[in-house]
Structure 1
Amino acid sequence: MGRKLKAQALMIFMVFVLILSGCNFNSSEGSNEEGKTADEKEGAAGQVLNVSMTADIPTLDSTKAHDGIAFTVLNNVNEGLYRQDENHEAIEALVTDHVVSEDETVHTFTLRDSKWSNGDPVTAQDFEYAWKRVLAEASPYNFMFVTAGIKNAEAIMNEEKGAEELGVKALDEKTLEVTLESANPLFQSLLTFPTFLPQNQKYVEEQGDQYALEAENILFNGPFILTEWTHDQGWKYEKNEDYWDAKSVKLDAINSYVVKDSETGVNLYETNKVDRIVLSSESVDQYKADENFDTILEPEIIFLRFNHNHPVLGNKNIRQAVNMAIDKKSLTDVILKNGSTPLNGVVPKGFFKSPEGKDFRDLNGDFNTGTVEEAKKLWETGLKETGEKEVTVSINIADSDDHKKVAEYLQAQLEENLPGFKLDIKAVPFAQRLEIEKAIDYDISLSSWGPDYSDPMTYLDMWLKGGSANRMDYHNPELDKLVASARTETDLSKRYQTLLNIEKILLEEDAAIAPLYQEGTAVLMRNKIKDLLVHPTGASFSYKWTSIEE
């Protein structure tokens, strides 16, 4: 045993050496250190943030990016029309003036003076080119242009029109005109999403298929530039001195290390190699008393999908019984222990407020809550209605430790609290689980959903008939009607009431799904780090205003 522990310690040390030497992030090469005094160098060293990431950057091409890591990097090295502030609201970035037509379909933006890292000015043509490129190349997030309601976006996606007909036009170098199909209250907030970033056409075309594959194959116009990128090991940001708002940027550098194993992350933190890590549930008890420990409530929801074609699960009383028979608080507090909280709605708490400033979850309250005794009565009623005395169903889960823990807990709860209920667990790789859901070839599926944009609609229009996210053959015509109405309603208070009513149909009228919990994340972050913004949608982090307080 002693030799085994020594071997493990040696392996961990070697991982540290490989990560740090491979990335070479402590090197002064290319870091603008020449000519600085000793005091200046010492001050600069104090404004260096070290963080861990779970994976490498898949791409830095904003028209192709489709994951949180790429979005985070792009958000910090590039600048669009708007970006998110500390309240996750859209604030002006490259925009100095935004004029909206009387019918709210034509938006005219005036750009501030700014430049790319090669010295070229950032122009309205850069936006027109990048946005049309998203549609022309069938990018993963091209649907955001439909969500934004930009003219002809849907027709282009349906191959009824060409990308050149997208409703975006550079009137001159500093003026961008965007035309919508109809007024859209989400439009401005959507513009913070990285898919709406600009690109320098001449540079992109010069790089060809090498564009954005390495740090030297991309241009920057944001708060930071990427000076190093060692694939599968990490990357380094440095402050962009030519950024239009450079005075607001406090950090001199950010070192991002790729750390896929949570135990390795803990060791990096303990040896002061990184300043922030995400903890596994196994590590929470060890660190929960640490002054740097914190839990973050995320906007991601975990829930049960039911196959509405199933002879038993198609019954509303059965679905309500399953929901009520689960002690969700024990699931989050005893099993997960990572800051997750019970959820009895489809829109999570703490992220979406009405025009009057009230939280969506507080306004709509909880659905389908009750005692185990009430669950049993619903269960018995449902069995009589379906002509069954006992039921055996399977639950489709991703092949991950967290999903297995949750599924085993649900199995114990449901088999104990609902007489005659038997639950079989089927664990498959994540991608396969999604394919099984799409084919609706399951009984129950343990599912997750995170928001694509900062509005309750991202959780509510999932349930449209035939929608790609529905994946359970659920349909309520009234829900479809309300979604269509909310998409074009410009009275924000009236629209919000419609959103509340959509959730009521889904959960109160139909009990279509069983919400379980709102995801939480347990983190260790040194308290010297100030103003590191963690966003619920789009890019996960903004470093523009972050500083190190010694």
Structure 2
Amino acid sequence: MKKVLSLLMALALVVSLAACGGQTKTDQGKTDTNNTQQTDTKDNKDTQTPADQSAPKKVISLIETSNIPTMVSWLATDSVSFGIMGNITSGLFIMNDEGAVTPELAKDFEVSEDGLTYTFHLRDADWVTVDGEVYGPVTAQDFVYPIKKILDPKEASQYAFMIQTAGIKNGAAAVALSEGLVAYEGNLSKLENMKVTDFKDTDTQTAQQQFDAAKASLEEKIKAEEAEFVGQYGSIEKANEAIYDLIENIGVTAVDEKTLKFELENPVPYFQSVLTFPSFGPVNQKFVEEKGEKYGSSVDNLLYNGPFIFKEWKVSQRHYLEKNPKYWDAENVKLDGIDYRVIEGVDNDTVVNMYLDGQLHTAGLAGENVEKYGNRPDVVTYEEGAMFYIQMNQGQGEPTANKKALANPKVRKALNMAADKEYISKTVLANGSLNADYLVPVGLQVSEKHDNKDFRKVAADLYNGEQGYNSYNVEEAKKLWAEAKQELGIDKLELELLLFQAETSNSIGTHLKNEWEKNLEGFSLVLKPLPFSEKIGRANRGDYELDFSGWGPDFPDAVTFLDMWITNGGHNNTGYSNPEYDAIITSVKSGELTAIDKVKERFEAMVKAEKILLEDDQVIMPIFQRGRTGLRDPKITGWRLQLFGPDFIFKYVDLTE
């Protein structure tokens, strides 16, 4: 998550929101969130919450511009879901009010001399229901269960890769096989649902000819996948058996009720940071099995062990969190509640006016409002590592002629080079965001082996890539576009761009439309704003051509941005596949470059991977690194934007007199 991401564009407007990747997800879950989220109490009545009845003294009022896609931790990938999870579920570690990783449910722990074994001893903590009744103790097995669920191909979790990223024993093999099986099943489904009507006649090919070619290509791909499974495991059936053997032997063990052991394949310097992420938070297996398909679908179908209880979940209306009196460290939680108003697509003027009227404790500033209110004493600014970009679908999901066009790298490079991104950062946003032709953000990671230089500075030294690759150059864009049209046998191309339902998102889409249609002859763009969950769902299924998305760091290492784009990766919704790129990412995550004496080589390999991704292959079109400028009530203290994990941890926030 951060995520997310899919990270929500509207967060550029509203500083109070928890940020994604992203593009994190959602409609793969088993719960009908569009239906069950209408509840705010367990008996499904529209009753008042304690906030309405007694108006607790210390309740901060915030705004959220999107509904929650899922509250199932192994299915979540978005910033909105993780923002809630991070405040209602306590894991082994937490980011404190100074931004440092600190033990949470880990009372104490030991690390072996070789850095391959972590043994955690859990403090006493309880699970409670939405009514605050104790359900049972938090145990070591509660940490083992969700890790096995996230690896299960039946769940098709897009965050399975985090198990490999954490270096957990058997994680790399389990992730590779799980993602391979998910991709194989997806291709079978894709083949079954292919239709001639998915294609349109062009100047060179009929729809039927395109359909036949796409079907043959997909059948060949499926045969290759089957051959690989047969070669490694003997049959598809045995491959399915093998994944569950790997999951059963994953390097996470409940030694006893209060002792949890992790075994790693290689030392991971950011291991404790990774464990702050909600995907590694505990889940009570007994409760999940009791609830069945209803688990995670409403506030009474969840358990809580964190600082707050999710008391009200009303779609497009309200998210209300109330202090958990049974939380192990409740005496240090100052707030009585967090009250989110949920208004999809709200414009920045409305948010600012709500703040000025005393309805909100924080409000983001964007565009003209930055200049208008930027000198107020209650203005705050944030530096952030979230990146926003356009995903370009090269073939994920149902095959179409437009996706075939996007499979041509000259088309992708032309789109990137034909748009003035500085206008977006300086005029549309005007909040400290940086226009970007890079993916790994400024300030995320420095290299001790390169004189403590930032990733971007090392990219400058190695590849002249400080500002990124394939930067704004209209003449070069026109040249590439003309060559691409000739190669594709087309003279025009109309694509659809998925957007968030938000004022700033629409402004960015409009600017890109104007730039592309002005600079690329024969190109046209259709803007498609969608509700958050629907947009994420379409991107996950590959049901898109261009998708405006975002991602924030899950931990402070460049690989958190780079491993998204491996072949069949859980967050790779583009259809991109490059064996050289895959090999580099494997090496820096779990291969020879993880050795202690390979720190310099590992860093340089990640810089090279970004160059391949953007300069050579232009898999995505980076747009900006987000900054935030906003208004915040001076009575709020302890408010800190976290570098990774959920954006805001409210355990440390106070509302003073």
TM-score greater than 0.5 by the shorter chain: yes
Counterparts of 2:648 and 2:367, CA distance in 1:
22
Counterparts of 2:406 and 2:313, CA distance in 1:
53
Aligned position for 2:496: 396
Aligned position for 2:120: 109
Counterparts of 1:59 and 1:506, CA distance in 2:
30
Report the CA distance between 1:138 and its aligned residue: 1.6
Aligned position for 1:482: 584
Report the CA distance between 1:171 and its aligned residue: 0.8
Aligned position for 2:22: none
Q: Deviations over 1:56-79 (max 9, x none)?
A: 545544345443333222211221
Q: CA RMSD in A?
A: 4.0
Aligned partner of residue 421 in structure 1, secondary structure:
coil
- Given the alignment of the two structures, is residue 219 of structure 1 paired with residue 236 of structure 2, yes or no? no
Q: Give the residue type in structure 1 aligned to 2:587.
A: S
**Preserved CA contact (<8 Å) 2:127 2:135:** yes
Q: Give the residue type in structure 2 aligned to 1:84.
A: M
- Given the alignment of the two structures, is residue 533 of structure 1 paired with residue 640 of structure 2, yes or no? yes
Aligned position for 2:358: 272
Alignment of 1:119-518 (within 5 A): 120-135=136-151, 138=155, 140-143=157-160, 144-150=162-168, 151=170, 153-154=174-175, 155=177, 158=181, 159=240, 160-162=242-244, 163-207=247-291, 211-229=295-313, 232-262=316-346, 265-278=351-364, 281=367, 284=370, 286-294=372-380, 296=382, 297=384, 299-303=386-390, 305=392, 314=408, 323-355=416-448, 358-364=453-459, 365-368=466-469, 372=473, 375-376=474-475, 379-380=478-479, 383=482, 392-399=492-499, 400=501, 402-414=504-516, 418=519, 421-428=521-528, 442=545, 445-451=546-552, 453-454=554-555, 455-465=557-567, 467=569, 469-470=571-572, 474-488=576-590, 489-491=594-596, 492-511=599-618, 513-518=620-625
Q: Give the residue type in structure 1 aligned to 2:457.
A: D
**Preserved CA contact (<8 Å) 2:140 2:254:** yes
Aligned position for 1:25: 51
Counterparts of 2:71 and 2:484, CA distance in 1:
55
Q: 1:139 to 1:523 in 2, by over 3 A?
A: farther
Q: Deviations over 1:385-408 (max 9, x none)?
A: 986899644343115554553344
Q: Give the residue type in structure 2 aligned to 1:249.
A: V
Q: Give the residue type in structure 2 aligned to 1:292.
A: D
Counterparts of 1:22 and 1:282, CA distance in 2:
38
Q: Deviations over 1:151-180 (max 9, x none)?
A: 354356643333544332211122112234
Counterparts of 1:138 and 1:279, CA distance in 2:
39
Aligned partner of residue 425 in structure 1, secondary structure:
strand
**Preserved CA contact (<8 Å) 2:470 2:615:** no
Counterparts of 1:254 and 1:404, CA distance in 2:
29
Report the CA distance between 1:275 and its aligned residue: 0.7
Q: 1:130 to 1:504 in 2, by over 3 A?
A: closer
Question: Which sections of structure 1, spanning at least 5 residues, go unmatched?
Answer: 1-19, 32-44
Report the CA distance between 1:518 and its aligned residue: 2.1
Q: Deviations over 1:442-473 (max 9, x none)?
A: 5xx35423146223223223343454655556
Q: TM-score, normalised by structure 2?
A: 0.66
Q: Deviations over 1:153-211 (max 9, x none)?
A: 43566433335443322111221122344444443322111122123444445555555
Percent identity, aligned pairs only, is 31
Q: 1:320 to 1:253 in 2, by over 3 A?
A: closer
Counterparts of 1:222 and 1:441, CA distance in 2:
37
Higher relative contact order (CA 8 A, sep 6+): 2
**Preserved CA contact (<8 Å) 1:259 1:265:** no
Aligned partner of residue 533 in structure 1, secondary structure:
coil
**Preserved CA contact (<8 Å) 2:77 2:159:** no
Counterparts of 2:477 and 2:313, CA distance in 1:
57
Q: 1:278 to 1:310 in 2, by over 3 A?
A: same
Aligned position for 1:519: 626
Counterparts of 1:113 and 1:514, CA distance in 2:
47
Report the CA distance between 1:535 and its aligned residue: 3.1
- Please identify, of 107-116 and 234-243, the stretch whose mean Cα deviation from structure 2 is larger: 234-243
